[in-house]
Amino acid sequence: MKLIYLHQYFRKPSMNGGIRSYEFAKRLAQEGHDVVIVTSDNHNKFKGWKIEKLDGFEVHWVSVEYDNSFGFFSRLWAFSKFLVLASTHICSLKSDKLFVTSTPLTVAIPALVYKFIKRRPYVFEVRDVWPEVPIALGVIKSKLLINISLFLERAAYEKASHIITLSPDMKQSVLKRCGNTPVTVITNAADCHLFNQPPLLEDTFLLTLNKLKSKHEKVVFYTGTFGLVNNLRSFIKLSTYSNSEIGFVIIGEGKEYEELKDYAKELLVLDTTLHFLPSVNKNQLSFVHSVFDMATSTVLPVDALYANSANKVFDAFAAGTPLLINHSGWIKTLIESTKCGLVINNEPGIDDYNSLRDFLFSSYAYELACQKSSELGRNEFNREKLFKKLLPIIEGNYK
């Protein structure tokens, strides 16, 4: 099969960010399919389409400047530019099927154009309940834009041959608006082979991690984007209850970086109980999980966000690292049923900190959580197992 895989924010393992599309494209190619990723290069300026051979498949890059710090209209321009260029490009390629993954929701437009012009089916993957989230957050306020977004979402679902969601909560959200297209849950995955790697003794990044760890008995960390929905102020506030026996580390980049540093300064925790580190790739992330003690995933107290399937959660399972969250939803249910981590309040207080301290310093609870986290990574959320769910959907053999 000649398959086009449309993902606006595709990332290679050497880059910062999730590699779901890379791992699935590689496996689809190993199954004998001719796979072409169509994506954007957000940092380098060049003309036309740049083609790269990568692990059995091709990646077609087009230059579209984009950054998490962009405002609404800059983001809208980037989305619009990509959808026009991508629509033209995918329709110029020989193919049998399109596999399109959001976000942003605007990638639905190339999918619909492709179906209309090429008369070929597409599979639509929902990574976030968009536009529910920006509407709930008040990012989209115009009734016209809201109605256009909801219409586009419904059209994308109804015209798809199959819908993939990344969590059971997302599936329920999709089914509320489209009950005619089959929907399958394929969560983000644990790439166990990328974690628990032998440390490099002279690696400068590893030395930095060990230096931070030496200042605290235990370290809780966050990796990922510094955005509004990530609610890192909650994480920073939690650090204020520590007398440095527990350290808190935020690793990544994003729009709120300077504001978060200012907030940490205001609370007198910056560089004492709370530390910032730049973004890391998957290889470096293995070291983070090896040196530090507990991973964290935080969001704002907005119901639409509780359906998330954040990469950082499954990285924790891949590494066998206990997980700390501050929200409800399916991940909370998973933690409480498996004992793989701890759930605290979205607005943390001293009781939440004490619960965290008791957990980290309890050899029984902590070791059990490590064991359960590892089991989830090796079994339920293993990449190979999840790919076996994806393959028949792509090949059209889903039953």
> Tens-of-pLDDT digits for all 399 residues of the chain?
999 999 999 999 888 888 999 999 999 999 999 999 999 998 889 999 999 999 999 999 999 987 766 776 777 788 788 999 999 999 999 999 999 998 788 899 999 999 999 999 999 999 988 888 888 888 888 899 889 989 999 999 999 999 999 999 999 999 988 888 999 999 999 999 889 888 776 788 999 999 999 999 999 999 999 988 999 999 999 999 999 999 999 999 988 999 999 999 999 999 999 999 999 887 789 999 999 999 999 999 999 999 999 999 999 999 999 999 999 999 999 999 999 999 999 999 999 999 999 999 999 999 999 999 999 999 999 999 999 999 999 998 765
Pick from 198, 240, 166, 228: which is nearest to 18 by CA? 166
What is d(CA 272, CA 260) in angstroms, rounded to the nearest whole number?
15
What is d(CA 111, CA 99) in angstroms, rounded to the nearest whole number?
9
pLDDT at site 267: 97
Helix axes 20-30, 383-395, angle to 10 degrees: 60
pLDDT at site 399: 53
In Å, how far are 95, 188, 231, 285, 287 from 99, measured between CA atoms? 11, 16, 32, 28, 33
218: tokens are 């235990």
Q: 3-class SS at 245?
A: coil
In Å, how far are 19, 22, 27, 58, 117 from 13, measured between CA atoms? 6, 8, 15, 15, 34
What is d(CA 94, CA 385) in angstroms, rounded to the nearest whole number?
30
What is d(CA 222, CA 293) in angstroms, rounded to the nearest whole number?
11
The answer to whether the 2-188+382-395 and 192-378 domains have the same CATH topology is yes
What is d(CA 107, CA 232) in angstroms, rounded to the nearest whole number?
28
CA atoms within 13 A on the CB side of 30: 11
Hey, CA dihedral for 236, 260, 18, 281, is it positive or negative? Answer: negative
pLDDT at site 77: 80
pLDDT at site 68: 65
What is d(CA 133, CA 138) in angstroms, rounded to the nearest whole number?
9
Q: What is the DSSP letter of 107?
A: G
pLDDT at site 11: 92
What is d(CA 81, CA 46) in angstroms, rounded to the nearest whole number?
14
162: tokens are 């199959």
pLDDT at site 73: 72
Task: Note whether 125 and 139 are within 8 A (CB).
Answer: no
Q: What is the residue extent of each domain of the chain?
A: 2-188+382-395, 192-378
pLDDT at site 254: 87
> Tokens 């993954």 appear where?
101
Q: 3-class SS at 240?
A: coil
pLDDT at site 114: 97
Q: Which CATH class is domain 2-188+382-395?
A: alpha beta
Helical segments of the chain, H only: 20-30, 72-92, 108-118, 132-137, 143-159, 168-177, 204-213, 232-239, 257-266, 282-291, 311-319, 330-338, 350-360, 363-378, 383-395
Q: Which CATH number fits domain 192-378: 3.60.9.10, 1.10.10.370, 3.40.50.2000, 3.30.470.10?
A: 3.40.50.2000
pLDDT at site 124: 97
Burial class (CB in 10 A: 0-12, 13-18, 19+), 143: exposed
pLDDT at site 391: 97
The residues near 329 (Cβ < 8 Å, ≥ 6 apart) are 167, 169, 306, 307, 308
pLDDT at site 100: 97
What is d(CA 344, CA 238) in angstroms, rounded to the nearest whole number?
10
